[in-house]
Amino acid sequence: MSSRFYKTTEGIPGRAGRRRACLLMVLFLLAFSVPAQTPKGVFISDTVEIGKPFQYSLSLLHRPAADVLFPDTARFFAPFLVRDISIFSTRTNAKGSLDSAVYTLVSFETSPMQTLRVPVILIRNGTDSVSVFSNTDTVRLRERIQSRRLDTLRLSTYTDVVTLRQQMNYPLLFVILLGTLGGVGIVFLFFGRDIRTRILRYRLHRQHLDFHRSFNRMARSIGPETAHEEAGRAVVLWKEYMEWLEGKPYTSLTTREIVESVRDNRLADALKEIDGVVYGGVYSDQTQQSLRVLSELADIAYYRRSVQLLNNPMP
């Protein structure tokens, strides 16, 4: 047999060989059951699936003197695609010569019924040729998804409104928290020292304002009758603020030790005047002046500490 395609399977042993023998037997039975000179095309299976290969057998019983050309893989098989071809050797007996082939096809069409009819060319006397079409065979598409007709659907005439409970989207919340923590971490990585310094300076400023508010209130309330009580409270407040500001134990130091630590000539006279008011009950015009000296020394210590933080940021 002559053909316009390549032989793709030859002599496969084992299971493939037995399968080839079975196909050949089927082709013989199909070929010898039809009249001569009429190609017989048959789908091996009755149903096919989209994208899955299936087989189509083509055979022709003819006179031994004629040559036969089976169709190639590029034409005549629409809407199917040819995946593979198995060619069988010509078999001759008293009834004639049998040429046969099995095509492995694939379909991507969605039509429920699909047909195929292909031509076979007979060459006589070396020059004369004629095309003979095979019979038309039909294969059915097997549907995996059974669609329901729209007219069989029943719509409800009454439905109750159900209030759905709100649920927390925990994965989204986790992503938001993780992103927030990551952003804060990056900010502190690059600007953490500056941020900490600004926070400390803000606390320092707020503490200084609170000190002045309380200290000035006590200073205004000092009079001849309450001088020994209010002056003592004012000095204690000043010592506590200076101790927090400079980190020195002002509350446990004597007046002499405080004067030596601060090293300001005005402080000695101011503390001496206030001690006279607290312990001797002697109130004079110098009492308010001494309190103003303490307030000014607190301001100087505050500005010194603020500049220190600005020039030496926290690590």
Instruction: Tell whether the torsion through CA atoms of 67, 68, 73 and 76 is positive or negative.
Output: positive
Q: What percentage of the chain reaches a pLDDT higher than 90? A: 18
Looking at the structure, tell me whether residues 125 and 220 fall in a common domain.
no
Tokens of 91: 């078999």
Q: How many CB atoms lie within 10 A of CB 9?
A: 16
For residue 31, being part of any structural domain is answered with yes
Judged against a pLDDT cut of 80, whether residue 142 lies above it is answered with yes
134/24 same-domain check: yes
Q: How many domains does the chain have?
A: 2
**Same domain flag for 194 and 294:** yes
Q: What angle do CA 283, 286, 291 make, to 5 degrees?
A: 95
Q: What is the pLDDT of residue 228?
A: 77
Inside any domain, residue 217: yes
Please state the rounded mean pLDDT for residues 28-53.
74
Q: Which residues pair with 115 in a beta bridge?
A: 138
Model confidence pLDDT, tens digit, residues 10-39: 333 445 555 555 555 555 454 444 444 789
In this structure, the answer to whether residues 6 and 137 fall within a common structural domain is yes
Looking at the structure, tell me whether residues 197 and 130 fall in a common domain. Answer: no
State the pLDDT confidence band at 302, using cuts at 50, 70 and 90: very high
| Cα radius of gyration (the chain) | 54
What pLDDT does 110 receive? 85
- State the pLDDT confidence band at 200, using cuts at 50, 70 and 90: confident
Is pLDDT larger for residue 10 or for residue 160?
Answer: 160
Q: Is the residue at 92 inside a domain? A: yes
Q: Please name every residue paired with 43 in a beta bridge, in sequence order, or none if there are none.
A: 56
One domain for residues 14 and 136: yes
Q: What is the pTM of this model?
A: 0.43
Q: Flag whether 173 is in a domain.
A: no
Distance CA 104, CA 57 (A): 9
Domain residues for 277? 189-311
pLDDT digits (tens, 9 = 90+) for 231-245: 888 888 999 999 998
| E strand or H helix that includes residue 47 | strand 47-48
> Looking at the DSSP assignment, which residues form a beta bridge with residue 132?
120
Residues 213 and 306 in one domain: yes
Residue 223 lies in a domain: yes
CATH of the domain at 74: 2.60.40
Write out the H or E segment, with its range, that includes residue 42: strand 40-43
Give per-residue pLDDT as tens, 245-295. 888 888 888 888 888 888 788 888 888 888 888 887 777 778 888 889 999
59 and 125 fall within a common domain: yes
Q: Residue 255 pairs with which residues in a beta bridge?
A: none
